[in-house]
Amino acid sequence: MSTAAATSTDAWHFALVGTPNSGKTALFNALTGSRQKVANYPGVTVERKAGLLLTPAGRSVNLVDLPGTYSLRGRSPDEEITRDIVLGRLASESAPDLLLCVADATNLRLSLRLVLELKRVGRPLMLVLNMFDLAQRRGINIDLARLSAELGVPVVTAVAVRRDGTAQLLTRMDELAASVGRQGENTWKAPSASDLRAAQREADRIIAAAVGTPARPDTLTARLDAVLLHPVAGLVILLALLFLMFQAVFSWARPLMDLIQSGFDSFGVLAHDALPDGLLQSFIQNGVISGVGSVIVFLPQILILFLFILLLEDLGYMARAAFLMDRIMGSAGLHGRAFIPLLSSFACAIPGIMATRVIDNRRDRLTTILVAPLMTCSARIPVYTLIISAFVPARHVWGFVNLQGLVMFGLYGAGIVSALGVSFVAKRFFWNEHETPPFMLELPDYKMPRVRAVAMGLYQRAMMFLKRAGTTIFSMMVLIWFLASFPRPPAGATGPAIDYSLAAIIGHALEPVLAPVGFNWQINVALIPGMAAREVAVAALGTVYAIEGGKEAAEQIGQALAGKWSLATALAVLVWYIFAPQCASTLAVIRRETGGWRFMAITFAYMLALAYVAAFMTYHVAVALGAG
């Protein structure tokens, strides 16, 4: 008890609350910088973002960034967390000493209603008017003293994206020290429709009293939307953007990838020369360096993909994309809100599946989770890139379109079409449901993406990927090297050493099942560690062919494939990877998010079945057309 009391006087616990699009996360980043910890709340899959900051007076503050919400009613798991922490109901979390309600200063209406609701909780509360510079530039005259008096809540301004933009906020935190710990009476109860109405009317009255109309309204958003939300032009631009994104992933990343590749190659040669011939040499060069290198080489492509997603998100375009796609997705039985999770799944199905929490209807959420792994995630890029560059000539068609990029675009397209098809079938036959739930979404004003915020997001993604390469992928590489190297060939053996290994035994054992789809035993071997993560398959193929064929093969795995696989086999592998449920972490996340094994098993089974059937058909059609 005494220690708990001691720690609670040592550091304050503050919580950031706010509506979606209030710039809450930007403010959180500005206040805590790199001193952040991202984890999950115990027992649920809601992300907990917390960080440490120091006030000018030297007090340390534990700041927690709560999921965005319009009210404390708790319509989704995320919003329930916000409600429970604000009310101090969550046992694992210290009740906040101060609530910081973040509002977009250019768009106060919905935030002020939330402030009025938060007041009833009785905790010390401060309103932070974020993006205050933008409001001033638009000539929105906010009478801060009046606003504060009308609300009965201290008000402070902030510009999260500017370096000194939080100075005033930090100073005010110290001034509020006196009120910290002073808990008023909690009169909050879930508001009814008439409560919500009354609160919104009161908020509108306060705005009329304290906030002037903009002298220079935001005409840019209106002018951009006239084009970007145009029924025809808007859809064409959205498609063009996606097309540009995939062209960029394929061609812009090339020079950097070559650099990384040659770096790892010379590093491998260095290790080869420094170590005595034997097992250790083979392990370091073929297992560790070429294995990890063959995965890290895809970092530039993943970063380019995330760069596009982060920029579009910061710009405010993502909500527009959901608007444009709502009917198309709706006809396939998906919710318009599913567009953002599905688009994130292009980077990785795991954040995509986690992002489905914004969908409050359980069946819609399950349908989205079911199809999210069909979207082409970045882990497939290594597999696709390797096979495309080995089998598709690098020429231009129609003058400017890179043929390899076009094939890549086609593979992405196949993923999207199959996702729509599966969700249609699920909705109609599985749920036997024809009704789609409401789609309501705020379209925020466009905002110039900030370099610092995008750079920070990219850095976090890069670290996540490298961490994965260093742990999961590395341990799988050790495993595949072991399988490919043991047992050692008997004395006097003539064939390559790998023919006597466990890998060959496993690969051959799988042949009766996988030969009909055109896979040879080397592919079968690569599929096994590929279960841990798809990109490992590439590294595994590299290791298998390296141990089989020596150094030259390791350096030129693409050429090795072109020599050893038929076109039909290559196409079958590509198609296999559109569907195959080859990612243990995705399956684990599905189990966690759906709260049981059932949906994980369903996902695994239907994807495997699709993969097998599609690869089988592709292989046999290709052979019939003479590509065998």
Partner 1 sequence: MPEGRQPVNGHASLPKSLPLGEAPCGFRGRIEAIKVGEAHGGLPAGEIENRLIELGFVEGARVEVLHEGAFGRDPIAVRVNNATIALRRREAMAILAIAERPTERS
- Of the CA atoms within 13 Å of residue 469, those in its CB half-sphere come to 24
Binding residues for partner 1 restricted to 140-199, rule: CB under 8 A: 191, 193, 196-197
Both tokens of 489, joined, read 């060939």
Report strand pairing: 60-65 vs 47-54. antiparallel
CB 157 to partner 1: min, Å? 19
User: Does the footprint of partner 1 cover residue 204 (CB under 8 A)?
Assistant: yes
Which residue in 200, 251, 460, 585 binds partner 1 (CB under 8 A)? 200
Q: How far apart are CA 411 and CA 136, in angstroms?
A: 47
Distance CA 612, CA 603 (A): 14
Instruction: Please tell me whether residue 112 binds partner 1 under the rule CB under 8 A.
Output: no
Site for partner 1 in 495-554 (CB under 8 A): none
Q: Which of 4, 440, 451, 491 binds partner 1 (CB under 8 A)?
A: 440
Q: Using the minimum distance from each CB to partner 1, give the nearer residue, 236 or 625.
A: 236
Q: Which is nearer to partner 1, 438 or 470 (CB)?
A: 438
Report, in Å, the least distance between residue 326 CB and partner 1.
Answer: 5
136 binds partner 1 (CB under 8 A): no
**Residue 36: strand, helix, or coil:** strand
Compute the distance between CA of residue 58 and CA of residue 172 in angstroms, rounded to an integer.
13
Q: Are strands 36-40 and 47-54 parallel, antiparallel or unpaired?
A: antiparallel
- Judged by CB under 8 A, which stretch of 28-36, 222-230, 251-259, 285-293 contacts partner 1? 222-230
Q: Which is nearer to partner 1, 340 or 525 (CB)?
A: 340
* Residue with Cβ nearer partner 1 (52 or 443): 443
Q: Does 80 bind partner 1 (CB under 8 A)?
A: no
Q: Determine the Cα–Cα distance for residues 544 and 479; give it in Å rounded to an integer.
A: 12
For residue 395, is it left (φ>0), alpha (ψ between -120 and 50) or beta?
beta
- Which has the closest alpha carbon to 446: 311, 312, 315, 309? 315
Say if CB 466 and CB 447 are below 8 A apart. no
Q: Does 328 bind partner 1 (CB under 8 A)?
A: yes
Q: Residue 443, interface with partner 1 (CB under 8 A)?
A: yes
Residue 366: CB minimum distance to partner 1, A? 13
Minimum Å gap between C-beta 314 and partner 1 is: 18
Instruction: Report d(CA 99, CA 120) in Å as an integer.
Output: 12
If binding is defined by CB under 8 A, does position 59 make contact with partner 1? no
User: Is residue 109 near partner 1 by the rule CB under 8 A?
Assistant: yes
**36, 44, 73, 87: residue in contact with partner 1 (rule CB under 8 A):** 73
Q: Report the nearest approach of partner 1 to the CB of residue 45 (Å).
A: 22
Among 47, 52, 70, 257, binds partner 1 (CB under 8 A): 70
> CA–CA separation, 301 vs 253, rounded Å?
6
Q: Which structure tokens are listed for 17?
A: 């609350």
Q: Is 441 near partner 1 (CB under 8 A)?
A: yes
Q: Which is nearer to partner 1, 139 or 563 (CB)?
A: 139
Q: Quote the distance between the C-alpha of residue 121 and its chain's center.
A: 34
Q: CB under 8 A: which stretch of 89-97, 200-208, 507-515, 586-594 binds partner 1?
A: 200-208
Interface residue with partner 1 among 442, 486, 495, 609 (CB under 8 A) is 442
Q: CA angle 56-59-64, nearest 5°?
A: 100
DSSP of 297-313, one letter per residue?
TTHHHHHHHHHHHHHHH
Q: Which residues contact 473 (CB under 8 A, 6 or more apart)?
A: 291, 292, 295, 532, 533, 535, 536, 539
**Least spacing, CB of residue 39 vs partner 1, in Å:** 29
Query: With contacts defined by CB under 8 A, how many residues of the chain interact with partner 1?
Result: 48
Task: Note whether 431 binds partner 1 by CB under 8 A.
Answer: no
Decide: is 592 part of the binding site for partner 1 (CB under 8 A).
no
Q: Is 110 in the site for partner 1 (CB under 8 A)?
A: yes
Stretch 341-370: interaction string toward partner 1, x if CB under 8 A: --------------------x-x-------
Please say which residue, 140 or 284, places its beta carbon nearer to partner 1: 140
Stretch touching partner 1 by CB under 8 A, among 105-113, 257-265, 373-381, 452-460: 105-113
Of 151, 13, 179, 17, the residue nearest 83 (C-alpha):
17
Note whether 209 binds partner 1 by CB under 8 A. no
User: Of 220, 242, 374, 380, which Cα lies nearest the Cα of 318?
Assistant: 242
Rounded to 5°, the CA angle 493-494-496 comes to 95
If binding is defined by CB under 8 A, does position 430 make contact with partner 1?
no
Among 143, 225, 265, 499, binds partner 1 (CB under 8 A): 225
The first and second tokens of residue 605, run together, are: 């089974």
- x-or-dash string of contact with partner 1, 227-246, rule CB under 8 A: --xxxx-xx-----------
Quick one: 73 or 592, whose CB is closer to partner 1?
73
Residue 38 dihedral angles phi and psi, to the nearest 5°: -110, 125
For 589-595, the CB contacts below 8 A with 24+ separation are 589/349, 589/350, 589/353, 589/354, 590/353, 590/369, 590/373, 592/45, 593/45, 593/353, 593/354, 593/356, 593/369, 594/366, 594/369
Residue with tokens 């890179």: 402
Interaction of residue 438 with partner 1, rule CB under 8 A? yes
Nearer to partner 1 (CB atom), residue 357 or residue 380: 357
Q: Which is nearer to partner 1, 94 or 436 (CB)?
A: 436
Cα pseudo-dihedral 349, 355, 358, 359, rounded to 10: 10
Report the residue number, 436 or 585, with the smaller CB distance to partner 1.
436
**Residues present in the chain in total:** 628
The correct pick among 326, 535, 548, 555 for binding partner 1 (CB under 8 A) is 326
- Is residue 570 within 8 A of residue 387, CB to CB? The reply is yes
Residue 62 neighbours by CB under 8 Å, 6+ apart: 11, 12, 13, 14, 50, 51, 52, 94
Q: Which stretch binds partner 1 (CB under 8 A): 6-14, 217-225, 476-484, 525-533?
A: 217-225
Task: From 80-88, 216-224, 464-472, 590-598, give the range in contact with partner 1 by CB under 8 A.
Answer: 216-224
The two tokens of residue 319 are 């909500």
**Interface residues with partner 1 (CB under 8 A)?**
70-71, 73, 106-107, 109-110, 113, 191, 193, 196-197, 200-201, 204, 214, 217, 221-222, 225, 229-232, 234-235, 319, 322-324, 326-328, 331, 336, 361, 363, 435-445
